[in-house]
Amino acid sequence: MTDVARVVVVDDDRAIRWVLERALAQPDLEVEILERADHALERLLEAPPDVLVTDIRMPGIDGLDLMAKLREVHPELPVIVMTAHSDLDSAVASYQGGAFEYLPKPFDVDEALALVRRAVAHARERRRPVSVPEGLDAEIIGEAPAMQEVFRAIGRLSHSHITVLINGASGTGKERVARALHQHSPRAGKPFIALNMAAIPKDLIESELFGHAKGAFTGATAQRQGRFEQADGGTLFLDEIGDMPAETQTRLLRVLADGEFYRVGGHASVKVDVRIIAATHQNLETLVEDGRFREDLFHRLNVIRVHLPKLAERREDIPRLARHFLAEAAKELATDVKVLTPEAEAHLTRLPWPGNVRQLENTCRWLTVMASGREVLIEDLPQELREPGATVGNTGDWRTAFRDWADRALAAGHTRLLEEAVPDVERMLIETALKHTGGRKGEAAELLGWGRNTLTRKLKALLPALAAGE
């Protein structure tokens, strides 16, 4: 039997109280309706509800003050703030005060009920401790065959000072691999210095790399070390090496050959011992053929090459990466760790991720800030990741996407594919049918070609939260 959750509604508008009292009259909800916050405050402090739904503007103390006073004593209490004055200041003040969600009036009754259920689930989830999976402090995560090749390369190079060239699309994590190569090398105790060629104006690149002497140019009021000197004894990571200007390529080649250079405007040579790790998303061979990259420098850099796969080529890593990034974001933002529901995790795994690992990391940071509850549902995702077309890449053909998924899963060693795929397919079809019928289960069953009893049974097995709302 489902536990009954206590929900308190505070609003001076009689019509709103009447609507919510009836909308929330559900078997799993116990509803208490109050007219004034100041009259209810003492009782709510002593016996807090599972969820509070409050208007902002009321006689006596307003809803934001009520929320603040209650959350001082009961900081875990989820509060849904309602207001007919749905302006920016009200929304910002609500969230800054710790509101679970902001509900502008007039609202859809079904939306309000769904939001209360989300808040109840959130309150119960908060009472359960979250265990962060072990091993998430590793610098790189990957179980996919393509990532295992990267790990093997890092292992083989762990006793070497040799130059490495990392190839991979933007956002695949080239700097993380470069750091891992450094941390697992004899130079681990020395500096790791990173410089992105594409992010520096061309006229400043040589000064950034090699430093400058005092008076070398206007504004050079003191001698300055460049990145080569800062990395002496350690590793210099040159990201987007394909964007390096031609004249800088010439100077870099000399440094790699001689191990020494001159600061900009300087007359004394500087000797350094630096390991170079370069990276690019471009095809350097093509740049060489086009005359945009020196062939001799390319051969100097291309001693050992490591290729990083796109995220879509290592889908089996997406759930673990997402958990890692959610844990990192929670630590960075000093908040609770968000947890993906199985449906949301499966949805993320199917997306094309054109921005690769960086896009997934940014999505997890976004969810940590924007998702209301501790559990992340598909509807919590950014709009562009929720749209149906987002799951099939550019083909628009779900059959092709599904065949590709099966091919990748089998190649990764998965078995019992039907047991994995059929529940997900049925779950998506049920959700879509219910969306088209406005939640009317009898009509949804007809759309799917099932009897009502079959849909009820499937709902209980696949979507228990929806089944509970019957």
pLDDT in tens, 230-251: 999 999 999 999 999 999 999 9
CATH class of 146-307: alpha beta
Least Cα distance to 167 among 183, 149, 182, 191 occurs for: 149
Higher pLDDT, 408 or 307: 307
* Segment 22-51 mean pLDDT: 86
Long-range contacts of 288-295 (CB under 8 A, 24+ apart): 292/242, 292/246, 293/242, 293/244, 293/249, 294/246, 294/249, 294/250, 294/253
Higher pLDDT residue, 417 or 72?
72
Residue 138 has pLDDT above 60, yes or no: no
Cis-peptide into 106, omega within 30 deg:
yes
Task: Measure the CA–CA gap between 268 and 208, rounded to whole angstroms.
Answer: 18
HSE, CB side, 13 Å, CA atoms: give it for residue 90.
Answer: 19
pLDDT tens profile 79-98: 888 877 656 667 777 777 77
Which helix or strand (DSSP H or E) is residue 426 part of? helix 417-436
Distance between CA 347 and CA 387 in Å, rounded? 11
CATH 1.10.10.60 domain residues, the chain: 398-468
CATH superfamily of 5-127: Response regulator (3.40.50.2300)
**pLDDT of 413:** 61
- What is the location of CATH 3.40.50.2300 in the chain? 5-127
With H, G, I as helix, E, B as strand and everything else as coil, classify residue 28.
coil
Confidence of residue 273 (pLDDT cuts 50, 70, 90): very high
Q: What pLDDT is recorded for position 134?
A: 42
Phi, psi of 212 (to 5 degrees): -145, 155
Q: What distance in Å separates the CA atoms of residue 134 and residue 83, rounded to the nearest whole number?
A: 43
Task: Residue 281: name the closest of 198, 345, 221, 204 by CA.
Answer: 198
| Exposure letters 151-188 (e unless 16+ CB within 10 A, then b) | eebbeebeeeeeebbbbbbebbbbbebbbbbbeebebe
Q: Would you place residue 104 in the very low, low, confident or very high pLDDT band (cuts 50, 70, 90)?
A: confident
Residues of the chain with CATH 1.10.8.60: 312-386
- Proportion of the chain above pLDDT 90, given as a percent: 27
CATH number of 398-468: 1.10.10.60
Per-residue pLDDT tens digits for 391-432: 444 444 566 667 666 766 676 566 677 877 787 788 888 888
**Closest CA relative to residue 318, chosen from 352, 367, 368:** 352
Where are any strands of DSSP class E within 367-464?
375-376
pLDDT tens per residue across span 29-40: 888 888 888 887
Question: How is residue 142 annotated by DSSP?
Answer: -
CA 267 to chain centre: 49
- Residues 196-234: tens digit of each pLDDT: 988 888 878 888 898 888 766 666 667 788 899 999 999
Task: Give CATH 3.40.50.300 domain extents, the chain.
Answer: 146-307
Residue 406 is predicted with a pLDDT of: 74
Mean per-residue pLDDT over the chain, rounded: 83
pLDDT given at position 411: 60
Residue-level pLDDT at 394: 44
Instruction: Specify whether domain 312-386 bears CATH 1.10.600.10.
Output: no
Predicted pLDDT of residue 469: 54
Residue with tokens 């011992």: 273
The closest alpha carbon to 121, from 28, 259, 203, 15, belongs to 28
- H or E segment to which residue 25 belongs: none
Beta strands in 122-196 (DSSP E): 164-167, 192-196
